[in-house]
């Protein structure tokens, strides 16, 4: 054991919370996508630390699937950002007000 | 010594991940994110997950970040974005902090499981190393999810091309 397992898991939770704060607080679409990547990385590290603690390889196999999922998520997400930028010329989430009633 | 390395990587990852969310410029955010990915790869290597560490560098620091940097270069937003948000920091930070303390309390108070999966580092060494054991598992027990993930990647590829393609005027009319 290089560190106690609760310290390792708390570190994963800390990185996850930083990513969550990024999603909640930022308005730039690109930074929101990056924060989602941060959260997925924290989950991967949780999988690996459980795999290390329980001496079981299946956690690392799960990480492989999460990595593939995160890659496809960011590809589609960035394509959506490009499509959005083409119509609105901005990456600000507050510009998404097409369905709003005009005041 | 590994403990020291773990704390060094952890501090690096934490500082860079905070920089990701506070930097105003998306380019600076993405460069900090690359640092986070490298620090995570170091932690994976310390936890005996060598294949995952290599995949982290290849897929995240290689492919995903190149995608991000390309899109940032492609989309130049000259306007200074305001970061004033409907959810203020004075609501979000305490709520997330509460969530975090809850998680830490659960992790600290729960007993360490004595479950042994039978994949100790020595046993993995006997079976031919980390990569070989993961490959054996993935192509026997996880064969169907593996095929599903390849379909997902294909769908994502088609979706990304279809979404980012510039539509001609004619295709809208027809």
* More confident call, B28 vs A102: B28
pLDDT interval class at B16 (50, 70, 90): very high
Q: Which of A2, A83, A87, A19 is CA-nearest to residue B71?
A: A83
pLDDT (tens digit per residue) in B26-64: 889 999 999 999 999 999 999 988 999 999 999 998 899
In a domain, A101, yes or no: no
Per-residue pLDDT, A5 = 86
pLDDT interval class at B15 (50, 70, 90): very high
In a domain, A41, yes or no: yes
In a domain, A23, yes or no: yes
> pLDDT > 70: what percent of chain B?
90
The total number of structural domains that make up chain A: 1
In a domain, A100, yes or no: no
Kindly report the CATH number assigned to the domain that includes residue A34. Answer: 1.10.287.3510
Q: What long-range pairs does B33-36 form, CB within 8 A, spacing at least 24?
A: B33/A34, B33/A37, B33/A38, B33/B65, B33/B68, B34/B61, B34/B65, B36/A15, B36/A38, B36/A41
Domain carrying residue A67: 5-95
CA nearest A33 in B: which residue? B68
**Residue A38 contacts residue A22 (beta carbons within 8 Å):** yes
Taking 80 as the threshold, does the pLDDT of residue B135 lie above it? Answer: yes
The DSSP secondary-structure symbol of A41 reads H
In a domain, A43, yes or no: yes
Rg (CA), chain B: 22
In a domain, A80, yes or no: yes
Q: Is B113 on the interface with A (CB under 8 A)?
A: yes
DSSP B75-141: ----SPPP---SS-HHHHHHHHHHHHHHHHHHHHHSPPP----S--HHHHHHHT-HHHHHHHHHTTT
CA B14/CA A91 separation, integer angstroms: 26
In a domain, A75, yes or no: yes
CA nearest A27 in B: which residue? B83
Q: Which residues in chain B have their CB less than 8 angstroms from residue A18's CB?
A: 14, 17-18, 20-21
In a domain, A28, yes or no: yes
């Amino acid at each position: 054991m290089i560190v106690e397992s609760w310290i390792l898991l708390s570190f994963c939770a800390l990185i996850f919370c930083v990513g969550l704060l990024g999603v909640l607080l930022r308005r730039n679409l690109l930074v929101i996508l990056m924060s989602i990547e941060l959260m997925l990385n924290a989950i991967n590290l949780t999988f690996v630390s459980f795999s290390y603690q329980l001496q079981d390889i299946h956690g690392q196999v799960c990480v492989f699937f999460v990595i593939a999922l995160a890659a496809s998520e960011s590809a589609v997400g960035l394509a959506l950002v490009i499509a959005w930028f083409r119509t609105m010329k901005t990456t600000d989430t507050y510009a998404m007000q097409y369905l709003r009633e005009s005041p | 010594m590994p403990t020291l390395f773990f704390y060094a990587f952890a501090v690096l990852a934490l500082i860079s991940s905070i920089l990701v969310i506070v930097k105003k410029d998306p380019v600076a955010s993405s460069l900090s994110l690359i640092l986070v990915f490298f620090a995570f790869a170091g932690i994976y290597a310390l936890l005996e997950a060598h294949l995952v560490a290599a995949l982290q560098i290849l897929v995240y620091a290689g492919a995903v970040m190149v995608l991000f940097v390309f899109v940032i270069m492609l989309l130049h937003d000259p306007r200074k974005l305001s970061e004033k948000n409907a959810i203020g920091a004075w609501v979000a930070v305490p709520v997330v902090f509460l969530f975090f303390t809850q998680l830490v309390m659960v992790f600290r108070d729960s007993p360490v499981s004595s479950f042994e999966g039978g994949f100790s580092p020595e046993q993995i060494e006997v079976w031919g190393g980390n990569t070989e054991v993961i490959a054996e598992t993935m192509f026997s027990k996880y064969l169907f999810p593996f095929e599903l993930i390849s379909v997902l990647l294909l769908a994502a590829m088609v979706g990304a091309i279809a979404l980012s393609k510039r539509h001609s005027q004619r295709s809208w009319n027809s």
